[in-house]
């Protein structure tokens, strides 16, 4: 089949690679325009553009499809049988969705209808979900509302971070998408979503990453894992900011200490009082240092009695 691919970040690259190896014809790639990045504010290619150029594929980068007939015509000229969309980041109007003969297929990193929206991986961890996955969806005009063509599931453990699940789901989604694509044009029977069960995964914000030690140890541990590798949970300590990469709620143990106070520190971790229970930090990043295991951070420093959040 003749395929147009639309995607932008790292998450989309495994699917582009899988399509390039699938035997289907890649007619072209859509990705967002180059953005200024870094201290020098130099224009930087998206990960998808960089990979597409390595593969020798034509690339188009419209700012928008809304009121942009040139962008629509460029897509139409590629004459796709189907368009595959993975974290593209632009709204596709109905006129665009109707261009490919078999419509547009989307790889979404959740088990729909749960966690429609921009940050499904992080929100699933933050909410304490037992599992997540990838849904291959026939795109419709609404936000992640189309019929589900395939669902693949993975467990969320008490150590799973957003970064780890990102890589796992990117690979899982690539394989699932090719499986669905191979069943076209004979057709794949879609399953309508139950919109009454839908939840929304709002975009992550840096302000959320500041730890509130009045929250429970369970909630804080989930956010630490949900916000790794971005925006990374953090808390002030003696005028500096410490970043947290891995933690868990202690199964037993309480303390009369005030929330944010360190009550124990050894090779097992740094135990911090919260509004409900003790949080054991097992990986963190001190100011000006690389991230490290708590076993290394406790060497040569008296942690007990220090207080985060002030």
Closest to 89 (Cα-Cα) out of 156, 169, 12, 15 = 12
The residues, any chain, with a CB within 8 Å of residue 34's CB and separated by 6 or more, are 43, 44, 45, 46, 49, 61
**Residues 280, 268: contact at Cβ < 8 Å?**
yes
**Residues 48, 28: contact at Cβ < 8 Å?**
no
Q: Is the peptide bond before 41 cis (omega within 30 degrees of 0)?
A: no
**Confidence at residue 152, expressed as pLDDT on a 0 to 100 scale:** 97
Residue matched to tokens 């009082």: 273
Identical fold for domains 2-201 and 206-297, yes or no, is no
**Confidence at residue 142, expressed as pLDDT on a 0 to 100 scale:** 87
Hey, where are the domains in the chain?
Answer: 2-201, 206-297
One pLDDT digit (tens) per residue for the chain, 310 residues = 999 999 999 999 999 999 999 999 999 999 999 988 777 778 999 999 999 999 999 999 999 999 899 999 999 999 999 999 999 999 899 999 999 999 999 999 999 999 999 999 999 999 999 999 999 999 998 899 999 999 999 999 999 999 999 999 999 999 999 999 999 877 788 999 999 999 999 999 999 999 999 999 999 999 999 999 999 999 999 999 999 999 999 977 677 899 999 999 999 999 999 999 999 999 999 999 999 999 999 998 999 999 999 7
**Confidence at residue 253, expressed as pLDDT on a 0 to 100 scale:** 65
Cα–Cα distance between 7 and 14 in angstroms, integer?
11
**Confidence at residue 214, expressed as pLDDT on a 0 to 100 scale:** 97
Cα–Cα distance between 27 and 79 in angstroms, integer?
8
**Confidence at residue 14, expressed as pLDDT on a 0 to 100 scale:** 98
| pLDDT tens readout for residues 73-84 | 999 999 999 999
CATH no., domain 206-297: 3.10.25.10
Architecture of domain 2-201: 3-Layer(aba) Sandwich (3.40)
| pLDDT tens readout for residues 185-196 | 777 889 999 999
């Amino acid at each position: 089949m003749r395929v147009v691919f639309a995607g932008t970040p790292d998450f989309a690259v495994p699917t582009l690679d899988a399509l390039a190896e699938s035997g289907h014809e890649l007619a072209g790639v859509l990705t967002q325009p180059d953005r200024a990045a870094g201290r020098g504010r130099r224009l930087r290619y998206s990960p998808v553009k960089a990979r597409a150029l390595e593969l020798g594929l034509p690339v188009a980068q419209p700012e928008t499809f809304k009121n942009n007939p040139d962008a629509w015509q460029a897509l139409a000229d590629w004459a796709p049988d189907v368009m595959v969309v993975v974290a593209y980041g632009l709204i596709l109007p109905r006129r665009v969705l109707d261009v490919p003969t078999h419509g547009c297929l989307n790889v979404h990193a959740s088990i729909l209808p749960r966690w429609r929206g921009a940050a499904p991986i992080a929100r699933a961890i933050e909410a304490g979900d037992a599992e997540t996955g990838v849904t291959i969806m026939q795109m419709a005009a609404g936000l992640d509302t189309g019929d589900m063509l395939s669902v693949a599931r993975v467990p969320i453990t008490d150590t799973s971070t957003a970064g780890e699940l990102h890589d796992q789901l990117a690979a899982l989604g690539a394989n699932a998408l090719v499986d669905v694509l191979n069943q076209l044009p004979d057709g794949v029977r879609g399953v309508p979503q139950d919109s009454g069960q839908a939840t929304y995964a709002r975009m992550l914000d840096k302000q959320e990453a500041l730890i509130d030690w009045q929250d429970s140890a369970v909630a804080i541990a989930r956010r630490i894992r949900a916000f790794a590798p971005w925006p990374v949970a953090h808390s002030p300590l003696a005028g500096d900011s410490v970043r947290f990469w891995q933690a868990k709620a202690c199964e037993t143990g309480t303390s009369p200490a005030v929330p944010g106070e360190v009550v124990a520190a050894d090779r097992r971790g740094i135990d911090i009082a919260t509004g409900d229970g003790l949080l054991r930090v097992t990986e963190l990043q001190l100011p000006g240092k690389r991230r490290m295991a708590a076993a290394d951070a406790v060497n040569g420093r008296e942690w007990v009695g220090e207080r985060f959040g002030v």
